[in-house]
Amino acid sequence: MCRTRLQAAGVEDPGFDALCLCQHFFGLDRPGLAVHGEEICLEDKAGLFRQAAEERAARRPLQYILGRWEFMGLTLQVGEGVLVPREDTAVLVEAVAERLGEKPGRGVDLCAGSGAVALGLCRLCPGLEMDCVELSGEALGYLRKNLAAYPEYGICAQEGDVLRPETAALFDGLDVVVSNPPYIARSALPTLQPEVQREPSLALDGGPDGLRFYRAIARLWVPKLKPGGVLGVEIGEEQGADAAQLLRQAGLEEVAVHKDWAGLDRAVTGVKF
């Protein structure tokens, strides 16, 4: 019934979402659902399950309903007010980690949101020290919870606007600058999936052409890298050439565009010499 309800509501992958809800509320995986699926209506949690299914049918993001989501082996708390971690962001994290290698260093995650990028990077690069900068008070709450859940990485969070020189002035001599910034062109926001429109516009709105944050990163944050430092940003699928040009104009070399599993441009990295 849940799958049918979600399919009728236009949910993109109703079977997957129904399975996630069953796992969350009843602890049933796919085989368990096949065996016990007819019994779950008798469970005490059936009411909560039905409510969650209706919320999903109303296009509330699945991740917000569950309250957590997996990213690169990490379990992150999420909810209204913070961007949902997406699998594609692993392209950015892995590309930056490959360029950094095994050398320890110090870096900053701009527009950090849930902390997915910084946590994923520290997981791949032992000894890396990171600061997270986030403007939204709501997102900061989730960021601090997620960083506290992984104290072994020792990542610090602070409130700040990455577009302001005053924020950039707090940092210098960095080995890495990384960011999954807002990059949707403002005019395109109303055309996004209903679920995405429930995510914070502050984390989506990249200005009139979607490039506002890349310009600021090139102007304010590339100078904060020390020689040999690495910068990486996530991008929209049609922004590879523009973002790469901005980073080259800011003085980065070995600028590369990295594709996701669908073959679409997803991240840009470069090195300061």
Q: Are residues 42 and 120 in the same domain?
A: no
Residues near 254 by beta carbon (within 8 Å), at least 6 away in sequence: 270, 271
Q: Is 5 helix (H, G, I), strand (E, B) or coil?
A: helix
Cross-strand pairs, 108: 131, 177
Higher pLDDT, residue 244 or 46: 244
Please give the torsion angle defined by the CA atoms of residues 167, 266, 19 and 49, in that order, rounded to the nearest 10 degrees. 30
Given a contact cutoff of 8 angstroms between Cβ atoms, the answer to whether 184 and 205 are in contact is yes
Q: What is the pLDDT of residues 143-194, one digit of tens each?
A: 999 999 999 998 999 999 999 999 999 999 999 999 999 999 999 999 999 9
What six digits make up the tokens of 4?
């049918």
* Alpha-carbon distances, residue 184 vs 37, 212, 214, 241 (angstroms): 40, 10, 12, 16
Domain count, the chain: 2
* Residues in contact with 117: Cβ distance below 8 Å, sequence separation at least 6, in sequence order: 89, 92, 93, 109, 178, 179, 180
State the pLDDT at residue 29. 58
Do residues 108 and 231 both lie within one domain? yes
Same domain, 160 and 48: no
Same domain assignment for residues 52 and 88: no
Q: Are residues 10 and 136 in the same domain?
A: no
> What does pTM read for this prediction?
0.93
| 117 pLDDT more than 70 | yes
Domain with 127 in it: 79-272
Q: Is the pLDDT of residue 28 over 70?
A: no
Is residue 119 in some structural domain?
yes
Query: Does 7 share its domain with 88?
Result: no
CATH of the domain at 263: 3.40.50.150
